[in-house]
Amino acid sequence: MVSLISLEVGCGQSRKHPVRLDFSTGTAANVIGDAANLPFRDGSFQLVYSSFVFEHLQNPQVALREWKRVLRPRGCLEIVTDNASHWRFHLHFPRWLRMINSHQDYQGTSE
């Protein structure tokens, strides 16, 4: 049986997932690292989860590529945000992510 290992990026004090990454000590993280430069092999996780972190990243496109890299084929990327509207642009998911845009104002592009 294959284990469904999940990674939580920017865990803070959350302990919902077995692998928890944060950039800061003093959190519930069991891995200290950068969301845009993950210390994991390609295809390591069935799920990459991030809650209320994505909108704070300096370069979200780099982070998305990295999160996709560590996903297994047919893995799931779940990003939760309540503050994306502060961006001065609309979020455009690249086609290679095969993501469905959940906000009506967001439009997917090939870039």
- Tell me the sheet residues that pair with 71: 45
Residue 80 has a CB neighbour count (10 Å cut-off) of 11
Phi, psi at 41, each rounded to 5°: -70, 160
Range of the domain at 11: 6-97
Which residue intervals of 50-100 are DSSP H helices?
60-69
Counted domains in the chain: 1
Helix (H) or strand (E) holding 63: helix 60-69
Task: Find the CATH number of the domain harbouring 19.
Answer: 3.40.50.150
Local confidence band at 89 (pLDDT 50, 70, 90 cut-offs):
very low
pLDDT in tens, 18-70: 999 999 999 999 999 999 999 999 999 999 999 988 888 888 889 999 999 99
pLDDT in tens, 35-48: 999 999 999 999 99
* 44 residue type, one letter: S
Q: Is residue 58 part of a domain?
A: yes
Would you state the pLDDT for residue 108? 43
- What would the two tokens of residue 96 be? 């290679």
